[in-house]
Amino acid sequence: MAHPVATEPVHRLVPSPAGRIHLVEQGRGPLVLLVHGFPESWYSWRHQLPVLAAAGYRAVAVDVRGYGRSSRPEGADAYRLLELVEDNVAVVRALGEESAVIVGHDWGSTIAATSALVRPEVFRAVGLLSVAYAPPGGPRPSEVFAGTPGPEEFYVSYFQQPGRAEAEIEPDVRGWLAGFYAALSADTMPGADAPDPHFVAPGGTLRERFPSGRRPGWLGEAELDVYAAEFERTGLTGALGRYRAMDRDWADLAPYNGAPVTCPSLFVGGALDASTTWLADAIAAYPTTLPALHGSHLLDGCGHWIQQERPETVNRLLTEWLAALPS
């Protein structure tokens, strides 16, 4: 007898190298694994889970290690990309599957691309939201970010020292998150003449440059409550571990320097997102770096939180792409 499709999201904990991974699944069919970015959670995919389920897929959104109800190992080494890839593999196996399509946003995009790069036998296709794929290699990341011209400090460098960003964020997690989300959302991001919120002035904080008292349209009180409650409970150190492992990734992934991701792929970015501007050369290189690319889409008037700012468009692009994949 056929099993009924799960019409409501189901929460589960599964074992992984991290200890445990919390996930939320909905629907039955081919597995689609959804991986969030910073500073988010499985909840970032709340608009995608029911749509993918209705389209005939087993949609599964994880809390990346360091977030939510997933384990939070200590030390930056625990947040290397190769560790996160193995968490994803463990999720696929724990769900009784042999393979999955993987889709990521922000850091999740990098995690998804790396998963497809190093474990192609498990991840048969990859969708990338907001952050473009750039093959491993090049200069050491800490040297790149430390070399930003001028006296201001790039946010990635600001995040490196354990405890520093936490001291800014954790006294008022809810307010900080609201400002961070607003700074990168199309309808509330600072204008071109305002100080760039991706940089910190000498002796300053990131929060000083967040929009004051403005909330993006996609972020109501209820949504902010969910995010804030998670980070008030867990703190930010696990989430920030991803940034603090970047130099370790550079060494770990040296065998893959310059390598393309050859499985079927999709890219969707926001035209107003700084990530798409910074990585414009990477997007232009897709014919070489993503040779099986199905489509590359920049959504006009859209910022960084793409699947929450433009859920209908992202859902349409994802379901059309998934339907076109070989079974």
Question: How far is residue 133's CA from residue 179's CA, in Å, rounded to a whole number?
Answer: 27
Q: Which amino acid is at 207?
A: R
Provide the 8-state DSSP code for 51.
H
Active-site annotation holder among 87, 106, 249, 273: 106
Quote the tokens at residue 315. 């859902």
Distance CA 116, CA 262 (A): 8
Nearest one of 60, 55, 57, 59 to 30, comparing CA atoms: 57
The terminus-to-terminus CA distance of the chain in angstroms comes to 23
Q: Residue 228: which H helix or E strand, with range?
A: helix 221-234
Q: Which residues pair with 105 in a beta bridge?
A: 129
Segments in 170-305 forming alpha helices (H):
173-183, 221-234, 237-244, 246-252, 274-278, 280-284, 286-289
- What type of residue is 281? D
Amino acid letter for position 43: Y
Biggest CA–CA distance in the chain, Å, is 66
- Closest CA relative to residue 43, chosen from 66, 21, 63: 63
Radius of gyration of the chain (CA): 19
What DSSP character marks residue 211?
A: P
CB 53 within 8 A of CB 31: no
What is the Cα–Cα distance from 105 to 34, expressed in whole angstroms? 8
47 among known catalytic residues: no
- Among candidate residues 22, 36, 105, 304, the one labeled active-site is 304
Cis peptide before 39 (omega within 30 of 0): yes
Q: Tokens in use for 27?
A: 């629907």
Separation between Cα atoms, residue 282 and residue 30, nearest integer Å: 30
Say whether 294 is catalytic: no
Active centre residues (catalytic): 106, 304
